[in-house]
Amino acid sequence: MDLGLRDKVAVITGGSIGIGLAIGHGLAAEGAHVVVAARDGERAKSAADEIAGRHGVRTLALGVDVATAAGCETIVQEVEKAFGGADILINNAGTGSNETILEAPDDKWQYYWDLHVMAAVRLGRGLAPQMIRRGGGVVLHNCSICATQPLWYEPIYNTTKAALVMFSKNLANELIPHNIRVNAVNLGLTLTPDWVKTATQLTEGTGRTWQDYIQGIADEFAPIKRFASPEEVANFFVFLCSDKATYSVGSTYYVDGGMLKTVT
């Protein structure tokens, strides 16, 4: 099946590892050129090289912090310089939190707001004019099931991801007249290296393996009783970017192995 992605230019924030890297491989396998943006420039470069080497597409690595206006501006300018503009933006960079509302200071709230929401605002505002010039595009927001079904230990994550879902809907309304389709994806448990690291740390010296710990989480939260692989959730992003999803606009899709306990 031809997904119509050949020679599209895709910007993926947080594309150096985990879900973002898997989306990069997924899009590049369809012939898209990939921009990997993350703070650790060296890791971004080796991810970009890996993608280029495996799929024969052009890639660009940018060592930027998308939680800052300057980092977002650099992406907009460098993509213009290297490729003449972007066709696809995947706002994927993000991270979990751990706090109580009574103890968390303002600056922690501010950081997550900048990372999860303002990055999407700034990159949407900066890259949409390029997409309009190129005849249209796709913007996807990697939110989380926590936007709807909060985990108790991360209120800042839950709140900022919920805001990102609402932003996605508003951006979709504003950009569809320009043939830019905007959607959000709410993932459930996805087995990235970060989960493995956390599980390894939490089980060290306990007699349990990290695999045991991960299975316990899956059994507790996901009716499918396993984590997703980054590749299997990346497939969904690739589909939404493609010409096969041209009527998908302004929606929020769950890819969560049945974890959401309600109907929406």
Question: Binding to ligand NDP by residue 187, rule CB under 6 A?
Answer: yes
Interface with ligand NDP by CB under 6 A: which range of 8-16, 74-82, 123-131, 168-176? 8-16
Q: For residues 247 and 78, what is the distance between their CA atoms, to the nearest angstrom?
A: 31
Nearer to ligand NDP, 20 or 26 (CB): 20
Place of tokens 């605002």: 121
Question: Binding to ligand NDP by residue 214, rule CB under 6 A?
Answer: no
Place of tokens 């707001």: 113
> Could you write out the DSSP letters of every residue in 158-172?
HHHHHHHHHHHHHHH
With b for 16 or more beta-carbon neighbours within 10 A and e for fewer, the 157-168 pattern comes to bbbbbbbbbebb
> Could you write out the DSSP letters of every residue in 177-192?
GGTEEEEEEEE--B--
Question: Binding to ligand NDP by residue 142, rule CB under 6 A?
Answer: yes
Nearer to ligand NDP, 13 or 130 (CB): 13
Question: Binding to ligand NDP by residue 95, rule CB under 6 A?
Answer: yes
Place of tokens 């980054």: 230
Q: Which of positions 98-137 make contact with ligand NDP (CB under 6 A)?
A: 115
Question: Binding to ligand NDP by residue 74, rule CB under 6 A?
Answer: no
Question: Binding to ligand NDP by residue 18, rule CB under 6 A?
Answer: yes
Q: Which of positions 225-244 make contact with ligand NDP (CB under 6 A)?
A: none
Annotation says 157 is catalytic: yes
Question: Binding to ligand NDP by residue 40, rule CB under 6 A?
Answer: yes
Cα 181 to the center of its chain, rounded Å: 16
Collapse the DSSP code of 253 into the 3-class scheme (helix H, G, I; strand E, B; otherwise coil) and give the result.
Answer: strand
Among residues 172, 82, 52, 72, the alpha carbon closest in space to that of 127 is found at: 72
**Catalytic pick from 111, 112, 153, 157?**
157
Nearer to ligand NDP, 151 or 176 (CB): 151
Binding site for ligand NDP (CB under 6 A): 13-14, 16-20, 38-40, 43, 65-67, 92-95, 115, 142, 144, 187, 189-190, 192-195
Positions marked active-site: 157
